């Protein structure tokens, strides 16, 4: 259920993994899920925005 997570930046959503300290940033385009970044939660959360 990728739509269950909140939008954090434009159309990018963030899913926080419970067991591990990681967050998955992704976008939904038609029926696909495109993963933009997987970040450790101790890193600067704005640094993923520089990725293309």
pTM score above 0.85: no
Cα within 13 Å of Cα(22), Cβ side: 7
In the numeric block, which tokens belong to residue 48? 């993923």
Query: Tens of pLDDT along 6-51?
Result: 898 889 999 988 888 899 999 999 989 999 888 887 777 676 666 6
Contact (CB, 8 A) for 8 and 23: no
Separation between Cα atoms, residue 40 and residue 30, nearest integer Å: 28
Separation between Cα atoms, residue 40 and residue 45, nearest integer Å: 9
């Amino acid at each position: 259920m990728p739509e269950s997570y909140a939008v954090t930046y434009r159309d990018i959503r963030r899913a926080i993994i419970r067991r591990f300290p990681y967050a998955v940033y992704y976008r939904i385009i038609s029926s696909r899920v495109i993963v933009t970044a997987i970040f450790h939660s101790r890193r600067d959360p704005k640094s993923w925005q520089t990725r293309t």
